[in-house]
Chain A
Amino acid sequence: MATKNGCNGECEREQYATLDTFIASHGTGRDALIPVLHRAQNIFGYLPVPVQEHVAKAMDIPASEVYGVVSFYHYFTMQPRGRHTINVCLGTACYVRGAKKVVDALCEELNIRMGETTADRRFSLMTQRCFGACGLAPVMMIDDDVHGRVTPRKVAAILERYE
């Protein structure tokens, strides 16, 4: 199975071991499911079905319910992402200040559509609900960095900073 670092075998076993340690420290109570999935996505980069099944077994929760939770929340993804995830805010404050034009510029620059990943796995392009940085509208996040007052012209220069 391809994972975050493209690893398999030995290193994948290590990833599962790290996850199991986390589950053990958090208990297997139902409340812990979302923190465990956060951690799992952090370890593997995404949440493919085998990882979900592993969590289900380890926490004694039906796999269907784990899948239900994973598919419900935006943060969780079942698709491998690029090395960097671009999230463009399309909340109303950003929208009226031209976020749509930023999205168009990104699509053109990266030659992908919304929700897709570039062929070289460098970027994934997503939209997100408001992340509360409206004073800087329009806003996009790349990984954990917030970029404010983005204009179509600035897009290329911002992307260059991410390898």
Chain B
Amino acid sequence: MAQPRTVVMVPVDADTVTIGARDVKNRFAEAIGRRGLAAEISVFEVGSFGPSDAGVIAAVQPDGLVYGGLTPERVDRIVEEHFVKGRPCREWLLPGEYPLPDPRAADARRTQYAGRIVLDNCGRINPERIDEYIANDGYFALGKALSEMTPAAVVGEVKQSGLRGRGGAGFPTGLKWGFCAAESGPEKYVICNADEGEPGTFKDRLIMEGDPHKVIEGMALCGYAIGAHQGYIYIRGEYKLSIERLHQAMAAARDYGLLGDNILDSGFRFDIEIKIGAGAYVCGEETALIESMEGKRGLPRLKPPFPAQAGFRQKPTNVNNVETLANIPAIIYRGADWFRRAGTENMPGTKVYTILGHVLRPGLIEVSGGVTLRDIIGDYAGGMKTGTFKMAQLGGTAGDLIGGEMLDVPLNYDALEKVGHTLGSGAILIMNESVGVCDFLHACMRFFAHESCGNCNPCRNGLRWLTAITDRLKRGTGYPGDIEIMEEIATVLKTAAFCPLGQSPAGPIVSALRYFRAEIEKGIDRKSARPKPDHTARALATFAG
């Protein structure tokens, strides 16, 4: 088969589809075909490059040029000028080292090893072709595990790697697998939690869209390690392109004998089914997710028993986040020691973030745990787009708000814990001075009040109170004492709410008070007096709905 001299890679993910990426890709193929260049220049879809600020883009390799802001009409000109006449259309080229300004720079300053583990294939291979995944060491880990390793050795390797859950809680993955592996019984389940719902987080979507086989391989490895034969991917219905690519990838894997009855002739049996959610934030919590899979309302279960003992259909079940599972193939194939070269002692490996808000270049990045927020804003996101940095929220709506004094704390579990913060799910929202703290808190609290499943009182009522209070504060009509009530409710939520959904809203409240107390106090009208309780109840009913 003739090798093409040039390849054109168009990142097609759910964001770029909406602005016409598929049309651009098809137009490239047509125009190149019309010019009789199809044998020399191949065009294909890849996953996201990361940044999401330049419209539809296309990379031309080996030239190393990236075009931005593409439309089908511009594609015609590029094909004529660049591919036929050999003159790149400079006016549409993106500057220098797009997509990432030396992606390793910040990392390399702080850690021994720098590079991508989870996103290494995203934007480089065609996610709809299993051969390209295999050509990049794909399914080698599964082959290695099935031929050379016992299930216990696989669990051991994951434990040794120090990988911690990337869904937000940071629980050691190997330990979790160990609990499930220790349970007896022939019927166990692996669940991939792809119900990515934390506002501001879309890393899992881009992983599934850009490299679906990595998630499938991670699940199969987990199945082998814990003794499960059936996996489920619980995914949001809105993630249509992810669902499409996962279905396509699963079919290709079955075709190649990498899923199904007798994987790689090892006798190991494993298959995956996709379950589509119906929209409930609380279903990101693993026991609520399991309830939902069983066809019920997504109310969290009382723990213990943990899913490892009694999960889906009351059988031992292991639930992991998409990003966690996408780390597994590299750990098994290259070994725990290789993995530990990246990151820090207590947070080996890398973390995928979505960086958003008032920065020049929002998008997807993967960095190790030694990197600080200042590095991320400056080196990866291209700095502030407008205004100056006021605050950031780490980890989605449930995350802590931090002020400028925390810009130099490394983003890893331990360093953040030392200063009283958590890392969360991987969303980083950067805000400039145009955002009012009370207004922002109100938006967060209204979200939580709406998403509360209503199961426990602290969450159901506490969040209504917080919504009403932050609404008053943002209007400058807060009552004296409102801040103390907020603090009290935050404590109650943190200590008495049933599940993480109810506990986590305390984070933004407490941290906002820590950094921006003076601004919040300005929302209180000192002259006003708190109305009698019956009025408050009525006010709640109006505000919190």
* A162 interface contact, C-beta 8 A: no
Residues of B265-295 at the interface with A, using a CB-CB cut-off of 8 Å, are 275-281, 292-295
Q: What residues of chain B lie closer than 8 Å to A30, measured between beta carbons?
A: 294-296
CB A38 to nearest CB in B, in angstroms, measures: 7
Establish whether residues A147 and B238, one from each chain, have CB atoms under 8 Å apart when the complex forms.
no
Q: Which of B18, B52, B278, B435 contacts A37 (CB 8 A)?
A: B278
* A136 interface contact, C-beta 8 A: yes
Q: What residues of chain A lie closer than 8 Å to B161, measured between beta carbons?
A: none
Q: Given A75-B237, A92-B444, is A148 in contact with B18 using a C-beta cutoff of 8 Å?
A: yes
* A68 interface contact, C-beta 8 A: yes
Q: What residues of chain A lie closer than 8 Å to B202, measured between beta carbons?
A: 132-135
Establish whether residues A92 and B443, one from each chain, have CB atoms under 8 Å apart when the complex forms.
yes
**Binary contact track A94-138/B, C-beta < 8 Å → 1, others 0:** 011100000000000000000000000000000011111111110
Q: What residues of chain A lie closer than 8 Å to B431, measured between beta carbons?
A: 96
Residues of A18-63 at the interface with B, using a CB-CB cut-off of 8 Å, are 29-35, 37-38
Q: What residues of chain A lie closer than 8 Å to B360, measured between beta carbons?
A: none
Q: What residues of chain A lie closer than 8 Å to B297, measured between beta carbons?
A: 68-69, 72-73
CB A97 to nearest CB in B, in angstroms, measures: 7
**A130 CA / B18 CA spacing, docked (Å):** 16
Establish whether residues A69 and B295, one from each chain, have CB atoms under 8 Å apart when the complex forms.
yes
Q: What residues of chain B lie closer than 8 Å to A31, measured between beta carbons?
A: 293-295
Establish whether residues B295 and A38, one from each chain, have CB atoms under 8 Å apart when the complex forms.
no
* A11 interface contact, C-beta 8 A: no
* A145 interface contact, C-beta 8 A: yes
CB A116 to nearest CB in B, in angstroms, measures: 14
**Binary contact track B236-250/A, C-beta < 8 Å → 1, others 0:** 111110000000000
Q: Which of B131-139, B191-199, B214-222, B329-337 contacts A (4 or more CB under 8 A)?
A: B191-199
Establish whether residues B356 and A137, one from each chain, have CB atoms under 8 Å apart when the complex forms.
yes
Q: Which of B18, B276, B294, B354 contacts A145 (CB 8 A)?
A: B18
* B298 interface contact, C-beta 8 A: yes
Q: Given A31-B293, A129-B197, A132-B202, is A76 in contact with B278 using a C-beta cutoff of 8 Å?
A: yes
* A82 interface contact, C-beta 8 A: no
Q: What residues of chain B lie closer than 8 Å to A163, measured between beta carbons?
A: none
Establish whether residues B53 and A135, one from each chain, have CB atoms under 8 Å apart when the complex forms.
yes
**Binary contact track B439-465/A, C-beta < 8 Å → 1, others 0:** 010011011001101000000000000
Establish whether residues A74 and B295, one from each chain, have CB atoms under 8 Å apart when the complex forms.
no
Q: Given A32-B295, A69-B297, is A135 in contact with B197 using a C-beta cutoff of 8 Å?
A: no
Establish whether residues B293 and A130, one from each chain, have CB atoms under 8 Å apart when the complex forms.
no
* B200 interface contact, C-beta 8 A: yes
Q: What residues of chain B lie closer than 8 Å to A73, measured between beta carbons?
A: 277-280, 297-298
Q: What residues of chain A lie closer than 8 Å to B363, measured between beta carbons?
A: 135
A35 (CB) vs chain B CBs: closest residue: B276
**A59 CA / B358 CA spacing, docked (Å):** 50
Residues of B395-452 at the interface with A, using a CB-CB cut-off of 8 Å, are 396-397, 427, 429, 431, 435, 440, 443-444, 446-447, 450-451
Establish whether residues B14 and A92, one from each chain, have CB atoms under 8 Å apart when the complex forms.
no
A97 (CB) vs chain B CBs: closest residue: B357
CB B398 to nearest CB in A, in angstroms, measures: 10
CB A74 to nearest CB in B, in angstroms, measures: 4
CB B50 to nearest CB in A, in angstroms, measures: 10
**Binary contact track A130-155/B, C-beta < 8 Å → 1, others 0:** 11111111000100111110000000
Establish whether residues B18 and A75, one from each chain, have CB atoms under 8 Å apart when the complex forms.
no
Q: What residues of chain A lie closer than 8 Å to B200, measured between beta carbons?
A: 91-93, 130, 134
CB B389 to nearest CB in A, in angstroms, measures: 13
Q: What residues of chain A lie closer than 8 Å to B278, measured between beta carbons?
A: 34, 37-38, 73-76
CB B212 to nearest CB in A, in angstroms, measures: 16
Establish whether residues A147 and B18, one from each chain, have CB atoms under 8 Å apart when the complex forms.
yes
A149 (CB) vs chain B CBs: closest residue: B19
* B80 interface contact, C-beta 8 A: no
Q: What residues of chain B lie closer than 8 Å to A34, measured between beta carbons?
A: 275-278, 292, 295
Establish whether residues A132 and B239, one from each chain, have CB atoms under 8 Å apart when the complex forms.
yes
Q: Which of B18, B52, B275, B427 contacts A146 (CB 8 A)?
A: B18
CB B415 to nearest CB in A, in angstroms, measures: 24
Establish whether residues A135 and B52, one from each chain, have CB atoms under 8 Å apart when the complex forms.
yes
* A90 interface contact, C-beta 8 A: yes
Establish whether residues A96 and B429, one from each chain, have CB atoms under 8 Å apart when the complex forms.
yes
Q: Given A90-B443, A96-B429, A131-B238, is A146 in contact with B295 using a C-beta cutoff of 8 Å?
A: no
Establish whether residues B397 and A92, one from each chain, have CB atoms under 8 Å apart when the complex forms.
yes
**A79 CA / B278 CA spacing, docked (Å):** 16
Establish whether residues A93 and B280, one from each chain, have CB atoms under 8 Å apart when the complex forms.
no
Q: What residues of chain B lie closer than 8 Å to A37, measured between beta carbons?
A: 278
* B205 interface contact, C-beta 8 A: yes
Residues of B175-232 at the interface with A, using a CB-CB cut-off of 8 Å, are 196-202, 205
Since A34-B278, A132-B196 are in contact, a sample of 20 more A-B pairs with Cβ atoms closer than 8 Å, ordered by chain A residue number, is A32-B295, A33-B295, A34-B275, A38-B237, A68-B297, A69-B297, A72-B298, A73-B298, A75-B279, A76-B278, A90-B446, A93-B200, A95-B440, A96-B429, A129-B197, A132-B205, A135-B52, A135-B202, A135-B356, A148-B18
* 20 A-B pairs whose Cβ atoms sit less than 8 Å apart in the complex: A29-B295, A35-B276, A38-B276, A72-B280, A72-B453, A74-B278, A91-B447, A92-B443, A93-B427, A93-B429, A96-B358, A131-B238, A132-B238, A133-B14, A134-B200, A135-B15, A137-B362, A141-B238, A145-B18, A146-B15
Which 4 pairs of residues, A with B, have the shortest CB-CB distance?
Answer: A135-B52, A91-B199, A132-B202, A33-B295
The interface of chain A, by Cβ under 8 A from chain B, is 29-35, 37-38, 65, 68-69, 72-76, 90-93, 95-97, 128-137, 141, 144-148
The interface of chain B, by Cβ under 8 A from chain A, is 14-15, 18-19, 52-53, 196-202, 205, 236-240, 275-281, 292-298, 354, 356-358, 362-363, 393, 396-397, 427, 429, 431, 435, 440, 443-444, 446-447, 450-451, 453
